[in-house]
Structure formats: C-alpha cells, structure tokens
Amino acid sequence: MEKITTAPFSHNNTTDATGKNGSLYDEHAELRQSLNIMSLIVYCLAFVLGVLGNGVVIWVTGFKMKKTVNTVWFLNLALADFLFTAFLPLSVTYTAMDFHWPFGKFMCKLHSTMTFLNMFASVYILVVISVDRCVSVVWPVWTRNHRSVRKASFVSLGVWVLALILSAPYFIFRNTGPSHDNNDIINCFNNMTMKHRL
C-alpha cells in the first residue's frame, strides 16, 4: 500500500479539516475589509456631525445663553464630546492605513488619553446631571437656596480633574512599535513594560 505524505505547511496545501482553508482566509480578509470600511464611514459621520453639533452647543451655551446650572452641565458635556470628535481624523487615518500609526509616539499617547478623557468626563457629567435632577425633584426648596452656577462650575472642574487622573495611565502606558506581522507597519498599543515607555 502506497503511503501519501503532504507537507503540513506547504503552499500547495490549501485545505484543513473542513477542506476550505483558502476560502476561509479569503472570507476573513473580506469581512475585515468590510468592517474597516464601515468603521471609516461611522468615524467620518461622527466627526462631521460631532464637531458641528457640539461646536454649536458650546457656542450657544457658552456665549449666547444666560449662565445657569443647566447650561454649565451641557457646556461641559458638549466640550468633552467635542474633544473626542476633534481627534477622530487620527482614528480615520489609522484605520484607512490598515492600522499603521504615522503620527508618532506623542500623538499616540495623546489620542488615547483624549478618547478615555471623553469617556470618563461624559459619564461623570451625565451622573452629575442625573443627581442634580433627582435632588431638584426630591428637595426643591433646598435646591432653590443652594443650587448656583458657581457651585456647578466647581463640580464640573472636579469632574474634569477626576477624568484627567483616570486617563493619565493611558498616556503613560501607550506606545508605538512595529507590528508582529510586518515591521513596516507601526502600531499604537498598550505597553505595560518599563522599557521605552515614555
């Protein structure tokens, strides 16, 4: 009986246990490309609508409306979202270049920090707005006597300081380096080692 052997990693061997190794790889590549295109579309829409929409809110609440506690909340929320959307072109470029980061180490750190700064600031400002609404309903008399623009501004400042502290690790641990698959591609990634961190 003749024994037939095939090299397991031969280029001619295009089948696995399912008999579809080559086609599975092609499907994976097509799916990844489709997801990247969808991401680019979403990023571009978010950038245009986010910058314009939040810019208008910042302009109206910051310069056109009378200062109230509510305008302080919405101004800070719009500012957090504006910062995030302003950095979206970097994400668009990174995705369009098949996850090659051409902007250097500092921008890698800053981009990641701004992304998480927006997340923390937005979430905590929404929490503050919810607590403020709850207190206004439950204790309306106390709220009328103690709720002020100055106190709201101090609370907002505290939220930004807390968000900045929580975002600082992303500035420290984010780094750039060559991809494992291709040395010509530079990735922006989390580096938990002490070497070349800053």
**What pLDDT is attached to residue 3?**
41
Asked if residue 12 is part of any domain, the answer here is no
Asked if residue 82 is part of any domain, the answer here is yes
**What pLDDT is attached to residue 8?**
40
Q: Which residues constitute the domain of residue 96?
A: 21-190
Count structural domains, the chain: 1
**What pLDDT is attached to residue 197?**
53
Give yes or no for a contact between 149 and 66, defined as CB atoms under 8 angstroms apart.
Answer: no
**What pLDDT is attached to residue 194?**
59
Asked if residue 14 is part of any domain, the answer here is no
**What pLDDT is attached to residue 14?**
44
Compute the mean pLDDT over every residue in the chain, rounded to the nearest whole number: 87
* 12 confidence band (pLDDT: 50, 70, 90): very low
Give yes or no for a contact between 172 and 164, defined as CB atoms under 8 angstroms apart.
Answer: no
Q: Which of 75, 63, 56, 67 shows the shortest CA–CA distance to 125?
A: 75
Give yes or no for a contact between 75 and 65, defined as CB atoms under 8 angstroms apart.
Answer: no
CATH of the domain at 94: 1.20.1070.10
pTM for the model stands at 0.80
Asked if residue 99 is part of any domain, the answer here is yes
pLDDT over 80 at 180, yes or no: yes
Asked if residue 100 is part of any domain, the answer here is yes
